[in-house]
């Protein structure tokens, strides 16, 4: 049953390699559709053990709803991370409080709903954890991500065999710095939020896989997933316009990382770009929750 609360023990067998897929910011109905059609096929063909997806733009481009949360799990996603739009849809708060496969940024207020990490036990046995951080440069106020992850890691390492970190941030420098800060302490640090995939995937010197941004899962004939015309009108006039979700050139962007569950070090990282042609009649549906007026942000 999707989202069922489970208590995990670390896997007994840790002498194995796991392939973990990290999917970039999933935007609206078009992003959800390609995941629903293509993810399970990719998982089977490439022997993926765990799928992590950033879902903070899944509901009409901003936030996530309980319906979408449950559907993403059915599509094959195992862990969902969020970002600056984590609480955009109020109805998700109950899910954040009750489920441990969806996380909001760890370094938000300690009084925020939900938790800053998620946990998933793979079919092979090892347990994968993902910590969710948010940046502070060009972003809304947040607590120190370095202090937050330092405080979490000792307890998360006791629960998990492998730890990934989603660094949801605007500034590339802030993401790169976090990668080096956590090198050798986690299996992978991957960036989200900017919706534009970077070409700097690498294994850092102490064994942590890293990429500055995994890109966007959604319509790429767009401005970060939104319709080109409405964004241009807003930029040229300085007036507010509704940033409608685009519908064409739908892709999944992400990375596949191979990690040794015994050493906890990454052995391989590879970018994923999966394109499919779909005819979208509408970029919205009832799963998005209540529509927002003049939603002029990304």
Active site (catalytic) residues: 85
Q: Which H or E run includes 155?
A: helix 145-159
Q: Which H or E run includes 179?
A: helix 172-181
Contact, 207 vs 186, CB < 8 A?
A: no
β-sheet bridge partners, residue 131: 117, 165
CB under 8 Å to 43, separation ≥6 — which residues?
21, 51, 76
Say how many C-beta atoms besides its own lie within 10 A of residue 269's C-beta: 21
Going from the C-alpha of 142 to that of each of 43, 44, 90, 135, 206, the distances in angstroms are: 35, 39, 20, 8, 28
Q: Which H or E run includes 81?
A: strand 79-81
Contact, 69 vs 98, CB < 8 A?
A: no
Tokens 């739908």 found at: 250
């Amino acid at each position: 049953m999707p989202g069922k609360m489970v208590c995990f023990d670390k896997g007994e067998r840790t002498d194995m390699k796991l392939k973990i897929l990290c999917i970039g910011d999933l935007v609206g109905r078009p992003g959800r559709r390609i995941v629903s059609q293509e993810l399970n096929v990719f998982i089977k063909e490439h022997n993926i053990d765990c799928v992590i997806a950033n879902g903070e733009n899944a509901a009409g481009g901003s936030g996530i709803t309980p319906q979408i949360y449950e559907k993403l799990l059915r599509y094959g996603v195992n862990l969902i991370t969020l970002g600056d739009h984590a609480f955009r849809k109020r109805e998700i708060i109950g899910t954040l409080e009750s489920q441990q496969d969806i996380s909001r940024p760890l370094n938000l207020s300690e009084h925020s709903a939900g938790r800053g990490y998620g946990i998933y036990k793979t079919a092979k046995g090892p347990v994968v954890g993902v910590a969710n951080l948010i940046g502070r440069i060009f972003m809304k106020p947040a607590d120190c991500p370095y202090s937050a992850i330092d405080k979490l890691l000792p307890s998360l390492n006791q629960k998990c065999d492998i730890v990934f970190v989603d660094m949801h941030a605007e500034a590339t420098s802030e993401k790169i710095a976090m990668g080096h800060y956590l090198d050798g302490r986690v299996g992978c640090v991957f960036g989200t939020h900017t919706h534009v995939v970077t070409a700097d995937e690498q294994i850092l010197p102490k064994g942590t896989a890293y990429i500055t941004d995994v890109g966007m899962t959604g319509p790429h004939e767009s401005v970060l997933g939104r319709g080109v015309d409405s964004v241009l009108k807003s930029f040229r006039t300085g007036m507010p316009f509704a940033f409608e979700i685009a519908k064409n050139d739908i892709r999944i962007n992400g990375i596949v990382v191979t990690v040794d569950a015994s050493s906890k070090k990454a052995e391989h990282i590879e970018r994923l770009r999966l394109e499919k042609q779909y005819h979208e009649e509408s970029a919205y549906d009832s799963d998005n929750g209540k529509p927002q007026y003049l939603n002029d942000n990304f």
